[in-house]
Structure 1
């Protein structure tokens, strides 16, 4: 039976990281994820914090929540859940493999939110075990946003040049739409607004302790920066899936790519319309032969092209992020 724990306030992530670090070497006896859901009701958005977050990620300063901002609001709950003694893996050192965000509708900064977070689907990975952390944001009874983060707990040594997904992606890098210079300050600045104070992002010594020569950018910063580049070009409701590949060692120059691609839904709709048009054409020819009239049906296709997005190293072309946005 699911245990529902209601929180009065969002937990502080700094204290959680310290507690997790102290418990890093404790033996974990649990073999399954806890059947627990954390709930935080009536959360009011701090507009000053929203503005600070938007500045770090490159979003415009508006009174609507940026698509990745609810992830930041739910992150303290996720950390609270993953740092409990009955969680089967240690939260320090987990690798963010992928993230899916479903935006149901625009959310105004004045709307109060209810957040829920739970962990699901602990499963094998070639480098250890992976699991999902699922978050929802609701206004009243309406779910307005969903997020799924997939994390890896490494239990086997990494291979050479291994990506976060466990394989080396040798696909050629697309032609960049833009090239961005990412400074060292991005790690600490994003940590400040997101609450994700993992030392691999903020401290060179901390990064070296986990095998990185320099600090690395947060995966969710890179996703947010890509979506910020497409502001004003996305529908009110959409889903964006990304896989995090090689880390961005700071400082760095990265190439951003974004291209429209016909979605499977639109392609199938076009095929149906072509088939219907051929049938109607045959019907018209038959009606003309009989002296009758026939009306052509209206087009039913929708402009639902996908966006294919990516980040790659500006010099080597090696991938940092690959994703797709579907409307």
Structure 2
């Protein structure tokens, strides 16, 4: 979140009762940008994106570029939830090809689904990046707004009273149920490769300065406690970006070539928060064109899984 956006997010209070079924706005935000190569390089350094692929943006960089637009959608009526304290549950990235670091992009953001969750409501937010009119990369983030439910809305079918025009693009369908959120429950096969990853105490503030995401849950122990966490936690998209950088570096070594023009998908489930500081282990399994990876840590001899991702490379 940007500084002014953070203030607006802190002050924003939707005019909605807990008994009301929330309705997402149908607006679409668009913006043409020229990628700032200096900022892009700062981001690359933060997430270890290098070795022959640094001429193109990181798959996660779209989230950073579109973050101010996402925030704009969440600090104005009739957005039905408070932006502060949202929990990032999952993220899905589809790459047709990775744009160059100096590319001109048309960015587009829109809401892309809503569903009941035992701890509140989950909504999807879609970001898309177009180069010369062609979709290069898209990313969908799934956010949980934690709140108590009234009995009347627990089993609500969000699509029953919504007239969806099937001829519209998916970016225009704001009221459909979330049906494609990554849920990866199966037991993973034995891992082929493991490597260490460290998340130091101040990494939340460092990444916030690069990404613009100043959500209080990432900054300090005290600001995180205000949001219901025992201490500051790492950004989910930061931990995912670090893992992707490492996984694609190893994949290029296997393939002995770059992946910039190769279609790829990254489906991630954020399972448990990474409390700062934490030492983690990245475990990677490769089978054909699919790669599974998991980020885990140990606390008092008990393993904790923080995220799990399926990567499909065409």
C-alpha contact (below 8 Å) 1:177/1:258 kept by paired residues: yes
Secondary structure of 2:232's match?
coil
1:89 to 65, 68, 81: 81
Is residue 246 from structure 1 mapped to residue 234 from structure 2 by the alignment? no
Aligned partner of 1:318 in structure 2 is 304
Aligned partner of 1:138 in structure 2 is 130
CA distance in 2, matches of 1:238, 1:251: 31
Is residue 308 from structure 1 mapped to residue 297 from structure 2 by the alignment? no
Displacement of 1:84: 1.0
Aligned partner of 2:196 in structure 1 is 179
Displacement of 1:172: 8.4
C-alpha distance after superposition, 1:231-276 (max 9, x if no partner):
34264210000000110000001110111124xxxxxxxxxxxxxx
Is residue 101 from structure 1 mapped to residue 93 from structure 2 by the alignment? yes
CA distance in 1, matches of 2:29, 2:216: 25
Return 5+ residue gaps in structure 1 as ranges.
1-11, 158-164, 263-304
Is residue 60 from structure 1 mapped to residue 62 from structure 2 by the alignment? no
Displacement of 1:227: 0.4
C-alpha distance after superposition, 1:186-234 (max 9, x if no partner):
1011111111000110122111112222210000001101101023426
CA distance in 2, matches of 1:261, 1:245: 23
Secondary structure of 2:71's match?
helix
CA distance in 2, matches of 1:246, 1:173: 20
Q: Which has the larger radius of gyration?
A: 1
Larger RCO, structures 1/2 (Cα 8 Å, 6+ apart): 2
Secondary structure of 1:231's match?
helix
Q: TM-score, normalised by structure 2?
A: 0.78
Secondary structure of 2:239's match?
helix
Secondary structure of 1:214's match?
coil
CA distance in 1, matches of 2:210, 2:16: 31
Aligned partner of 2:168 in structure 1 is none
CA distance in 1, matches of 2:273, 2:287: 26
Aligned partner of 1:21 in structure 2 is 10
Q: 1:170 to 1:110 in 2, by over 3 A?
A: closer
Q: 1:14 to 1:173 in 2, by over 3 A?
A: farther
Displacement of 1:185: 2.0
CA distance in 2, matches of 1:208, 1:132: 26
C-alpha distance after superposition, 1:262-308 (max 9, x if no partner):
4xxxxxxxxxxxxxxxxxxxxxxxxxxxxxxxxxxxxxxxxxx2000
C-alpha distance after superposition, 1:118-147 (max 9, x if no partner):
012121112111110001000111100000
Secondary structure of 1:317's match?
strand
Displacement of 1:89: 1.0
Q: 1:173 to 1:319 in 2, by over 3 A?
A: farther
- Once the two structures are overlaid, the 10-residue window that deviates more, 120-129 or 218-227, is 120-129
Displacement of 1:180: 1.6
Structure 1 vs Structure 2 CA RMSD: 2.4
CA distance in 2, matches of 1:170, 1:143: 32
CA distance in 1, matches of 2:205, 2:45: 14
Aligned partner of 2:173 in structure 1 is none
Number of equivalences:
264
2:65 to 63, 67, 73: 73
CA distance in 2, matches of 1:314, 1:59: 26
Displacement of 1:174: 6.0
C-alpha contact (below 8 Å) 2:63/2:139 kept by paired residues: yes
1:228 to 234, 238, 245: 245
Matches within 5 A, 1:146-295: 146-156=138-148, 177-232=194-249, 233=251, 235=259, 236-262=262-288
Q: 1:154 to 1:173 in 2, by over 3 A?
A: farther
Displacement of 1:27: 3.4
